Chains A and B, each alone.
Chain A
């Protein structure tokens, strides 16, 4: 059988960076093909070229045996390529059918369209009521709107960009059933992800990109996740070592903490109660947007709580601001690196002073001691293997992984008694992620209590002593992480709302 899509020597350069360098791959009809790579490896650029959003500088594409040069997404769709983006483009004030009609060239009458939507959603096990407002839908349901929008075009090739990042395990299960059904009908799928276990389960072939180059093509079912990760990073991975935790004294306690979201789009925390012991790693999972940012802000002191809800070693610290909490040893590292955990245009020295002034005594009578701040920054760079020319470099010049190592390292070197980190390895390459996890475990082994808020369940299972999940601002009771099954985790995260597997 001839290949559905063949890419030969595709090259695309942006100023200062070659996003794709001589990339070739081919996708067979009815194949689920994984596109693997770290953030910045060039996955997005490659699919944007296939979808007509970006024009390649060099190389050829062939689709169904014909030369394929889509000038715009419309041309790509007409040829039979559809794409589900990681970030949805839906209007919240419109209902499902209206949203789908907006994306069509010649939308049929609304009643016919609604019937078609119901047909497709039943056929592929993606229940969706065409008359519901998109604003009321969960992230998983919104993704279904996007998928059905694509399926209505009868695509030959469906591109999915990290589809599972917004889903609970149960929802992932449903999605995979749908994709398997599509495959059995002969539709090819280009599946972008960096979740290796998923790819090993679902995909027939994988193309691995590193720094814009095609480094390997393999059959993911015959490779271990670790081998693929090493192909992605190009080096041997170090797996964190775990020392089991024994219950000790309480380091931090939340008692019935409720707090209104500071913004209209935030999630209010509802009656959060949890205890963190010294030397313990508490993992907090959940689908994004269920109160993770608010919980981080309450713990860091950016969002002060009323008295009587947050206790640090039996001391009520709820109303204290960030610096008062640093004073007593309660430190945090927020999710967003650029602009929140670090100031993008400031040097690493200045960013070291951003949180380090108190515990590192960088201030004397209100005057900053820049010499000490630079030494602190240099220590972080050295101890955490931050790859940068030096402490004078602006934060924004660092890659995501290096800046994350700096941000986490900056807090760890301040010897916290309790450290709260939100998405410590988000968008970080596998080697740096392993180093960060090991550093957190080392800190716990020295007696600090650590709260890791993350959407990466593999990460949480790897480093947590106990696991809890956030669901619409509520925190489940923590349970020991050892022996927890994916099903149990999914139920804790809120399970699957009105989902059923595809009728295979």
Chain B
């Protein structure tokens, strides 16, 4: 018989061991799935995890790694603050879109003025846009006790319509011969989020992500606000007893995650995406939820998880083109990762005992 018994304290060792264990289990289960689809599992796993970093075309993929990981990490860091406090911002995708629109709009308003001040203003506008969009569920929750999960999620769809309207209307490229989409920032150097080192994928958004990781690490480890966030998430009554103001905490967490998601959107639309188009968003805001949990809501963990998930995206695309794996199989593979992570999570708080239960 297999029995689970609760540990007196959560195991530190296992909380660090479970993510790699989940990755290994995903590889095994995913390999079985690929084999069932008639592909060589070893080949497929190698294409997904190895080739993008060390394979023949790694020079291209390596840059993509940071391009994809940057926004994921930036958004996930913001989300992790709320998630730790039990405040569930599911609408980072919407804040990402609004941040992108606001940042781009400020840049386009200055077009074609060439000045070093344009890009910093765009950054501020992007953060502010995401912040304000996240304030909607925040203020509704604080004032009327609405559910921030629903409100933030539904606002994603509102944001998508605003995006479509902007791409087809206010922000449409006047010189674009009627095609939807804004001016391309590649042709406006003052507002373009350029690669800092050519070919590395390192743009300002990735820099911002690294800064966010350090900022969040210090916040959680040393700052009173980080302690209050943790306290509110683990023991809400104790938090009130400790003098934590729940409304302030909700607004801080939602505002922070909104601002970071807005930044991510702004860096994306003015860099890798290049222009405001109807569908420039590819779901980073949702994937970042997985990244936040895969990284155990820990800044360093999120950094690694963001890189890992970016790798499965890039490797997944490579496997689709070179091995002919269906896109759905890649998505299922990514889903397995979260599934196994949550499943082995139980080992942090419980230990497994084999054999018959005996009298201790």
Contacts and interface: CB of A to CB of B under 8 A. Distances in A.
A340 interface: yes
B294 interface: no
Contacts of A357: 224
A336 interface: yes
A302 B241 contact: yes
Nearest to A337: B238
Nearest to B8: A397
A161 B331 CA distance: 55
B6 A396 contact: no
A141 B6 CA distance: 38
Given A15-B6, A18-B359, A340 B224 contact: no
B208 interface: no
Given A366-B223, A367-B224, A339 B243 contact: no
A340 B237 contact: yes
A323 B243 contact: yes
Contacts of A341: 238, 241
Among B10, B230, B240, B245, residue most surrounded by chain A Cβ atoms (within 10 Å):
B240
B9 interface: yes
Nearest to A394: B9
B224 A343 contact: no
Interface string B224-248: 1101001100110111111101000
A133 interface: no
A368 B231 CA distance: 14
Interface string A7-27: 000010101111000000000
B240 A345 contact: no
Contacts of B3: 15
B177 interface: no
A368 B224 contact: yes
B117 to A, nearest CB: 31
A263 to B, nearest CB: 12
A346 interface: yes
Contacts of B8: 16, 394, 396-397
A350 interface: yes
Contact of B241 (A300, A345, A368, A394): A300
A340 B3 CA distance: 31
A323 B240 CA distance: 10
A427 interface: no
A321 B243 contact: yes
Contact of B231 (A346, A366, A394): A346
Contacts of A332: 241
Nearest to B227: A368
A503 to B, nearest CB: 47
Interface string A381-398: 000000000000110110
Contacts of B360: 13, 15-18
Contact of B225 (A18, A366, A393, A396): A366
A354 B245 contact: no
A301 B227 CA distance: 20
Given A343-B231, A354-B242, A368 B222 contact: yes
A353 interface: yes
B282 to A, nearest CB: 36
Interface residues of B, number: 28
Interface string B326-360: 00000000000000000000000000010001111
A322 interface: yes
Given A11-B359, A18-B360, A394-B9, A322 B242 contact: yes
A61 to B, nearest CB: 17
Interface in B306-343: none
B5 interface: yes
A350 B224 contact: no
Contact of A339 (B6, B238, B353, B359): B238
B6 A343 contact: no
A326 interface: yes
A340 B231 CA distance: 11
A115 interface: no
Nearest to B230: A346
Given A18-B360, A343-B231, A322 B5 contact: no
A424 interface: no
Contact of B235 (A326, A340, A393): A340
Nearest to A362: B224
Contacts of A301: 243
Given A16-B5, A18-B359, A342 B238 contact: yes
Interface in B237-272: 237-243, 245
Contact of A326 (B222, B223, B225, B243): B243
B235 A334 contact: no
Interface in A55-72: 57-58
Given A16-B8, A368-B224, A58 B359 contact: yes
Interface in A431-450: none
A344 B234 contact: yes
A363 interface: yes
A344 B237 CA distance: 11
Nearest to A339: B235
A339 B237 contact: yes
Interface in B197-243: 222-225, 227, 230-231, 234-235, 237-243
Contacts of B9: 393-394, 396-397
A16 B7 CA distance: 9
A168 interface: no
B222 A354 contact: no
A300 B9 CA distance: 30
A355 interface: yes
A119 to B, nearest CB: 46
A118 B346 CA distance: 53
A295 B227 CA distance: 28
A346 B10 CA distance: 10
A223 to B, nearest CB: 32
B241 A322 contact: yes
Interface string B1-22: 0010110111000000000000
B5 A353 contact: no
A330 to B, nearest CB: 12
Nearest to B221: A370
B11 to A, nearest CB: 11
Given A16-B8, A394-B10, A367 B222 contact: yes
Given A11-B359, A16-B5, A57-B359, A355 B224 contact: no
A329 to B, nearest CB: 15
A333 to B, nearest CB: 9
Contact of A366 (B224, B230, B235, B357): B224
A220 B151 CA distance: 63
Contacts of A355: 241-242
A499 to B, nearest CB: 36
Contacts of A321: 243, 245
Interface string A110-144: 00000000000000000000000000000000000
Q: Which 6 residue pairs spanning A and B have beta carbons closest together? A: A323-B243, A15-B5, A343-B235, A322-B243, A340-B237, A394-B9
16 contacts: A11-B359, A15-B353, A16-B8, A58-B359, A300-B241, A321-B243, A322-B243, A323-B242, A323-B243, A336-B237, A340-B238, A340-B241, A342-B235, A354-B242, A357-B224, A394-B9
Given A17-B360, A343-B239, A346-B235, 17 more contacts: A15-B3, A16-B5, A16-B360, A302-B240, A322-B241, A322-B242, A334-B241, A340-B235, A340-B241, A342-B238, A346-B230, A346-B234, A355-B241, A355-B242, A367-B222, A394-B8, A397-B9
Interface of B: 3, 5-6, 8-10, 222-225, 227, 230-231, 234-235, 237-243, 245, 353, 357-360
